[in-house]
Every structure is written in C-alpha cells, then in structure tokens.
Structure 1
Amino acid sequence: MTIHARLAALPTFPGAISGGVMLAAVLGFTLAASTSAMAAECEVSMEQTWLSDLVASAQVSGPCASASIELVVRNGVDDVVWSASHAAANLFGFDGVADADSMGVALGDWLGDYADNSSSGRLPEWPEGADMPDAGEFPFYVEEGVSRDVYETLRTADYPMICYIQGHESTLCLVQQPGVSVLTNVGAQSFPG
C-alpha cells in the first residue's frame, strides 16, 4: 500500500483536508483584515492649552501604523514658540493605535493628561562639579548647549515649564521665560517605560 493510499484510508483525512482549507481561509482573512487595519489612515488634529497662555496643536497624518505628528505651540499672538515632528510609533501611549478614533484618544492623552504643566523649580538640582543633574533613579539629560549655570538659573527662577512625552521612556521639558520669544528646551526627563 502506498503512502497516498494509506492517508486516503484514514477516516479523518478528508476532514483534515477540509479543516486545513478552512484554517487557511480564516488565516488569509485575518491577515487581510490586519493589513487593512495597518493601512487605515489617521488624519486627526487637536489643540490643547499649555501653561495657561499657549496653544499646542497637533496634526497627525499618514497610515495609523506609521503616522507622524506635527506639534506646533503658539503664544497668545499666534507666534510659533515651539515646533517638533514625532513618529507616533515612537511615543509612549500610541502602541496599538489602529484607526482614527483610537489615534484621537491617544493624541488627547498626549497633549492633555500626559503633558505636565509645572515650573522649572521642579527640575532636579545640578550639583557643582557633577556631569549632570542629580535626578536619582530616572536621569535628567540636559539639552546639548545648556550649561550648568544656565540650567541652574532656569531652575532657581521657577519659570513656567511644560514637559511632554517625546519617546517611550522620556519627556521633553520646555521652559517659558519672560522676554524670550520661544520656549527653551532644557532637556529630557526619563521615566520608567
């Protein structure tokens, strides 16, 4: 008896074939549905007030799985005081975003609940002689070009500051100084990711 004849003689072989065909059809449908979800466009925009007098607006564009976010922050007279571009996939809170509705929720959290309106007095102290601020378990990475003297001046002045999520494990902190037309990027605070 040949192998084909033996397989054909098994009572479950025809059921296994039709089950295999059914499984392949289901897998094909699932893959098509997931490809369709990945290709869903996420065209979403939102605004949020930051530091009581700034308007942060975010425009999301592109397929949800690879969408980019254009962030523009304006003052009360519509001057741009900060702008940045971020890949949504690289930001905490945007994992698993598959459609415009879930992108809107994630974007609202990012601009609102996750953004920390505080003051530069909350920055960790940068001790004399140290390479960086003493932030304990979660380091604070000072922006390139910001010296210890500038950092400590900003910290002790206790200016308004907004920190927003810039990655999977850190927030970017921007200080609003009187008489300065743009927000000052002081650095990034890491958080558990």
Structure 2
Amino acid sequence: FLDSDDFLTFDACEIVLKEMKKGFDLLCFDAFVYRVKTKQFYRFKQDEVFNQKEFLDFLSKQRHFCWSVWAKCFRKDMILKSFEKIKIDERLSYGEDVLFCYVYFMFCEKIAVFKTCIYHYEFNPSGRYENKNKEILNQNYQDKKKSNEIIKKLSKEFLHDEFHQKLFEVLEREKEGIIKRLAIKKT
C-alpha cells in the first residue's frame, strides 16, 4: 500500500522482493516521516525475524503499535484471507488500518522487521488523522469506535493473551485521544 503523497526509496522494490522470497508472511520496515522535520518513525534497533507470538510481544513493547499499512509488505493470498473476516461494507474512513492489520497479524506465522527505511510518509495537515474539523473528528471517533468493536468481536476467534489485553488498552487510549480532540463526552 502506498499513499498518493508518499514515496518509496529507489531500491525499495528490490529489497522487498528479495526478502519476500524467503517465505515471510509480513515485512515491516522503518519509515521516514515528514511533519515539521524529518525523523525515523518506528526506530527499530535491528533486523529481526519473529513467529507470531514473538511479533505480537514485540509490537506490544513498541512506542507505536505499527498499525498503519504503509511501510509494510503483505502477501496477496493472506490479504484475501483477511478480507474473509472483514465485511467490505463496513465503510470505515478511520481505524481501517488497525482493523485490517489486526486480522492480518492473526494469520501470520513468519514476520520480519527491518531497521531500513524504505518508506517516506508525508503528514497531511488536511488529512483525516491531522484534521481539526469537528465533523471529521466526530466521524473519526465513530469509525474508531466501530473498528474497536469489530476487533473485540473478532478477537474471540483468537487466543486471548497478554497481547490482546495490551491491545485493548491501546485501542481505548487511541479512542480517548479522539474524544479529547473533539471535546465531547463519551456516549
């Protein structure tokens, strides 16, 4: 997945193809993020290979949960398998990355994380994430709430463990963050 205002490094496709040939279900790369200044986003310390449990433990210890679809490479067959669990007509404009990644991660067996930055992400002040418009913030809140509910429902199909406990805490904090930005009471 590549947003229209973002770009990949010159050698990104070669790097991804070489690594995907090793049988990984998911590749996660670091990224340069452009906001006020350029910085590395995830700051992975080293290249690592994980099984699913190790990866979920790794995720739960990260500052950012790695929910975005950017800076990752997914297998097409597993994308389609993930969409069997997610109704396409959910029509989420916010929280859709989290929902997709959650389901996809639950099917992964072999994951690689790389400290290499192959993705350049441009924060868009007019985009959904940064937007301060009350209507858009309210829609973001509703979508996030719906996404969280779907994840909780789907989680019943998967092993409940420390990862899920941490996940639900993070999802709730993210939802609360939107509420604070919106300055509305929870419903």
Compute the TM-score of the two structures, normalised by the length of structure 2.
0.21
Q: Which structure: greater strand fraction? A: 1
Q: Which structure: greater helix fraction? A: 2
Q: Which has the higher contact order (CA 8 A, sep 6+)?
A: 2
Larger Rg: 1
